[in-house]
Amino acid sequence: MAFDARELRRVMGSFCTGVTIITTRDDAGHPFGLTANAVTSVSLDPPLVLVCVDRKAESHAHFYTSKVFVVNILSEEQEALSRRFAVSGGEKFADVPCHPGRLGALVLDGTLAHLECRIVETHEAGDHVIHIGEVDHAETHGGRPLLFFQGKYGQLP
């Protein structure tokens, strides 16, 4: 049966998620990042998480070369940051409080938590690529989450 992509988007939009910014870097160490909610915990032993990255994303190629990423889990104060990182191009990191993580990708300040990961497996899946990362370092900072539901940002009541 032919399936309408808009219907899939509508259905998956009913799955309320948090919002992350996934950061990586290029060979010269320049930072790249994108807003993502296709992020899942995969395994506790070994500790694995996956992220799904659009092949059309500017940052796409840099995941292959650096083989590292950071999952920055956004707080409800970071909606503007999420919007900024959901658009390709521009100086995404200008004036963003952040610092280099242990693997060279940037860790954003003011998040609920972050995970620093080394890519151990990559699977091509349609128009996206699934990167599975082994967690090298994980930290929680506390706060309230930014939510995404039916195409809109939200907060816990």
Ligand X SMILES: Cc1cc2nc3c(=O)[nH]c(=O)nc-3n(C[C@H](O)[C@H](O)[C@H](O)COP(=O)(O)O)c2cc1C
Footprint on this chain of ligand X (rule: CB under 6 A): 19, 34-38, 52-54, 57-59, 86-88, 148
Query: Shortest Cβ distance from residue 146 to ligand X (Å)?
Result: 9
Cβ contacts of 145 within 8 Å, gap of 6 or more: 18, 19, 73, 74, 75, 76, 112, 155, 156
Are 139 and 145 a contacting pair, CB within 8 Å? no
Q: Which residue is nearest to ligand X (CB)?
A: 38
Token readout for 56 is 């059309």
Cα–Cα dist 62/121, whole Å:
15
And the tokens for 23?
């950061």
Least distance from ligand X to the Cβ atom of residue 68, Å: 15
- Of 45 and 82, the one with the shorter C-beta distance to ligand X is 82
Work out how close the CB of 58 gets to ligand X at its nearest, in angstroms, rounded to a whole number: 4
Smallest separation, CB 151 to ligand X (Å): 8
Please identify, using beta-carbon distances, which residue of 1 and 11 lies nearer to ligand X. Answer: 11
Min separation Cβ 116 and ligand X, Å: 18
Cα 85 to Cα 9, 23, 38, 110, 125: the distances in Å are 20, 10, 15, 15, 23
Distance in angstroms (rounded) separating the CA atoms of residues 84 and 43: 31
Nearer to ligand X, 65 or 88 (CB): 88
Nearest CB to ligand X, comparing residues 92 and 103:
92
Question: By C-beta, is 45 or 113 nearer to ligand X?
Answer: 113
